[in-house]
Structure 1
Amino acid sequence: YATLKTRSRFFNIYEINSNYVLPHIYMPDTVYSADDLSIESLTDIPYTSTKKEVFSFPEGLLTKLDSSSKTRINYSKINPTKYVVELYDASGNVPVVLNEAYDSEWQVYKKMPGAEGNTFIDTWFAPTAPTTHFVANGYANGWIINVNQLCKVTTTCTKGDEDTYDLQLIISYTTQKYFQIGLLISGITLCVFSCVVLRSSLISYKKRVAHVKK
């Protein structure tokens, strides 16, 4: 499970085998749904070595899952509040999990054509993707992404074989977007105020110079 990396007089440092650690963003191998968190409802569920099961509890959620097992996922971290997610050979309803404490402010956006994903304005005007947001594993953020509905707009997806799609999404913390907008407004206000003060100072200076010449 773990390999000893550093041994000292006061402590040891171990590296946990990546096979036993969930990625920060991933597609679960299996999704189980239960009405509550009782032990009785979980005793018959088999565990795998990677523990990539997601226990989701909204009623009827399990019936929405019909994603293809061929779907692959890749992601890149832009900053702690923003990730670009790529889905390949996706179809139907695809479950995606973000291993961050559940917060309704985490939103999934369509990555619009031409957007790089690494600029702060990428999600300002981007529409949210058709998803169902739920609590995964009792703490994390889970989404059921409706790929077919999302890809009705062909500019956001690339159609593949057997009615599958390649697409890119942005997972972003909405509060950060509002913070960035606030900073932009504050910056513009500061610039305007500085220009007004500078103009007033120049006018006053010219008046003083003209008065001295007289």
Structure 2
Amino acid sequence: MDLRHLLQVLTCVAIMLMWCDARNHFTDKSCTKTIKFKTNETYRKLVECPYYVRKCKKNWFGQRVCTTERRIGLCLKTFTRSAYKLKEMSVCCPGYTETANNNCSRVCDNDKYGFQCQYHCSCPDNASPSCDVNDGRCTCFPGWKGSGCDIVCPSGTFGLNCKEMCTCADNESCNPADGSCITVVQRSKAT
């Protein structure tokens, strides 16, 4: 096996490892959902409270005569009322279901997406055969970008969606998939 073939094999292995890491990242789909729920609240309020005062006095004949007067005062009373509140919850996005360990797992087969997995993915060769379960977008392999995964990373960049910067010396370019440096040998013209 020559050096060039070995470099191609290693590049292929690196691409697959980076792609696997990318797929693990993309399959953790968590969305936020707002729900309305009913709750009982207690609160305290000042209210009018009747109370009674008994007064007794002696009449003209020396007999004790008592009367009861109703008066109104203020007291603090506890009430309960029903209230509706909104709460944001983390839930799995469409096409995913919650697993026992609270992660979101893909429900659709790898080549399908959408509501009830009714659509088929149509990803090109430079992308994963599976697509996003929500909208069918393809995940490009490292070294490729664009909606059709048909654009090679521009010179000086590499990796997933070409977001990494190459760190090669002046006369070297980098592999668009894994960033490994490639020495370009220029031949001089014989005079």
Answer whether TM exceeds 0.5 for this pair.
no
Please give the TM-score of this superposition, normalised by the length of structure 2: 0.20
In proportion to residue count, which structure has more strand? 2
Please give the TM-score of this superposition, normalised by the length of structure 1: 0.19
Q: Which has the larger radius of gyration?
A: 2
Higher relative contact order (CA 8 A, sep 6+): 1
In proportion to residue count, which structure has more helix? 1
